[in-house]
Structure 1
Amino acid sequence: MELKDKKVLITGGSAGIGKALIKELLTHGVKDFAVIGRSQDKLNALKDEFKDADFILVSADISRLEAIERLVKEVSKTWDHIDLLINNAGVVSADPLQDMTDEDLVNQININLTGLILLTKKALPLLLKSEDAGLMNMSSGLGYIAKPFYSVYAATKAGVRHFSEAMRRELIFENIHVMTIYPTATDTDMMTSARVDRMDSPELVAQKSIEGLLNKEINVILGGEQRIKDIATNFNHPLEIDKSVRENYEAYKERTKEHRAM
């Protein structure tokens, strides 16, 4: 895929991995970005930080259908097509299921999965007008290997994985390359309240994601060879992962007990 002069729509693009993706795409000649985020101040700051880019900025909650429709309407006023849709927005609330608030449970599903699917549906007519389009969905390592206290988050990210797979096959005769990104713990605002020592940088995730896009990869899995091995173990011998969790259960509980970014 040639990225120069592509038109990119990205959710959650005002911070973290989303902002790093904008920075990385600029190095490949992308100038036109449509960005949706919940903080107008953070969105406005993008103009100051990336002066060579042209932005369509929409402050809205991706979990709300009316916000998605407003976003696509705003984009359609300026662009006649989209070349790349990056579904990056996400939230997390780590808790034992019985302790999680109903609001956090519903919002994780609505933002991480329902909003992603709805935006893809609403943006699809514009993507189909591109001669060479891409659909990039941000999942998580927990979308492959679910861990305790992340039951709802892991379910949404596994849903993203299967949605991508289904859409890749549904669009197999179209001009849209569908891919999924699986970051490990990444040093962003979303991880501030998690007790994790070693994390990837958002810049690394962005670099690997765009490399994967250019190489037409369908899955970009962060975490190195060990993560690949763990995924295979989880698929073929899931009780081995259960054993590891049992042995480290208290550490999981301690590490996740304050992890919330909603």
Structure 2
Amino acid sequence: MQLKGKKVLITGGSRGIGKCMITELVKHGVQDIAVIGRDKDSLKALREEFESVNFLFVRGDVGDINALREISSKVEDEWGSLDVLINNAGVVSAGPLDEQSDEDIYDQIAVNLTAVVVITKYCIPILKRSDDAAILNVSSGLGLIGMPFYSVYASTKAAVRQFSDAIRRELEPDHISVTCVYPAATDTDMMTTSKAQNMDTPEHVAEKSIDGLINKKLHVIFGGEERLQESKLNFESPEKLDAKIAESYDERREASLEHKSM
């Protein structure tokens, strides 16, 4: 897939992995980018940093269905078609399930999953007008292996994985490729309150993710051979992985208590 001249819509593009993805897109010749984000100053900073880009902005929360309708309608009105949809926005609230607020549970599901499904629904008709369209969904390593104290977050990211497989097969006759990426812990604002170590850089994750998009890879998995082996073990002998994780149960619980980025 050639990105030069493509029209791209990205959620959560004003910071972190999303902003680094914009850097990669610009390197590949993209000049038309639509972004939905919550922070006015961050959106303004994007326009100042990427002077060559013709931005379409909608300030809003992807968990708000009206914001999703607005950005997709704006793309259709301004561009008439869309080449690439990147579902990147995400939030996390970790900790024991029975100690999480109802609001945090609902918001994680709304942003991490419902928004992905709904905005994809809105964008499919305009993606079909492209000669070479693609969707890039950002899941998580926790979408491959569910970890204690991340039950809600892991569930939403696992659902993104299944959604990606399902919608890829559904859109096959329309020749719309779908790539799903699974970042490991990444050094972004989302991880400020996490105690994770040896994190990937957002630049690395963005580069590999956009490369996967260009090459129409089905899955891009971060975390190296260890993640692949754990995923295999989780599928073939989950009780063995249970025992391994149980060895660090208390440490994992303590580390999760302050990890929140909503």
TM over 0.5: yes
Which residue does 2:194 correspond to in 1? 194
- What's the secondary structure of 1:18's corresponding residue? helix
State the match for 2:78 in structure 1: 78
SS at 2:157 equivalent: helix
Matching residue of 2:23: 23
Asked if residue 67 in structure 1 is aligned to residue 63 in structure 2, the reply is no
Q: Distance in 2 between matches of 1:76 and 1:53?
A: 18
Counterpart in the other structure of 1:147 = 147
CA distance, structure 1, for counterparts of residue 79 and residue 121 of structure 2: 17
Query: What SS does structure 2 have at the residue aligned with 1:35?
Result: strand
Whole-angstrom distance in 2 between the partners of 1:195 and 1:142: 16
Q: d(CA) in 1 for partners of 2:34 and 2:172?
A: 26
Please list the CA deviations of residues 198-241 of structure 1 after superposition, one character each: whole Å capped at 9, or x if unmatched.
10000000111111112211000011111111111111111111
Residues 6-36 of structure 1, C-alpha deviation per residue, up to 9 Å, x if partnerless?
A: 0000000000000000001111111110000
Q: Tell me which residue corresponds to 2:130.
A: 130
Q: What SS is found at the alignment partner of 1:36?
A: strand
Aligned 8 A contact 1:95 1:149 in 2: yes
Consecutive unaligned residues of structure 1, counting only runs of 5 or more, are none
Residue 108 (str. 1) matches residue 108 (str. 2): yes
**1:117-174, CA deviations, whole angstroms, 9 ceiling, x for partnerless residues?**
0000001111111000000000000000000000000000000000000001111111
Normalised TM-score (structure 2): 0.99
**Correspondence list, 1:135-214, <5 A:** 135-214=135-214
Contact 1:130 1:175 in 2 (8 A): no
In the TM superposition, residue 175 of structure 1 has moved relative to its aligned partner by: 2.1
Q: Cα deviation per residue 1:102-131 (whole Å; 9 max; x = unaligned)?
A: 000000000000011000000111111100
What code does the residue aligned with 1:3 have?
A: L
Runs of 4+ in 1 over 4 A off after TM superposition: none
Q: How far apart, in 1, do the equivalents of 2:123 and 2:211 lie? A: 24
SS in structure 1 at match of 2:2 = coil
Distance 1:224 1:32 in 2: 33
Q: Distance in 1 between matches of 2:211 and 2:227?
A: 19
Aligned to 2:36: 36
Q: What's the counterpart of residue 226 of structure 1?
A: 226
Task: Measure the CA separation in 1 of the matches of 2:19 and 2:130.
Answer: 24
Q: Which amino acid in the other structure matches residue 85 of structure 1?
A: L
8 Å contact kept, 1:12–1:89: yes
What is the root-mean-square deviation of aligned Cα atoms in Å? 0.7
The residue type equivalent to 1:253 in the other structure is: R
Structure 1 counterpart SS, 2:26: helix
Q: Note the C-alpha offset of 1:60.
A: 0.8
Letter matched to residue 216 of structure 1: K
**In 1, Cα distance between equivalents of 2:115 and 2:234:** 28
Amino acid in structure 1 at the alignment position of 2:57: L
State the identity as a percent. 52
Distance 1:201 1:129 in 2: 35
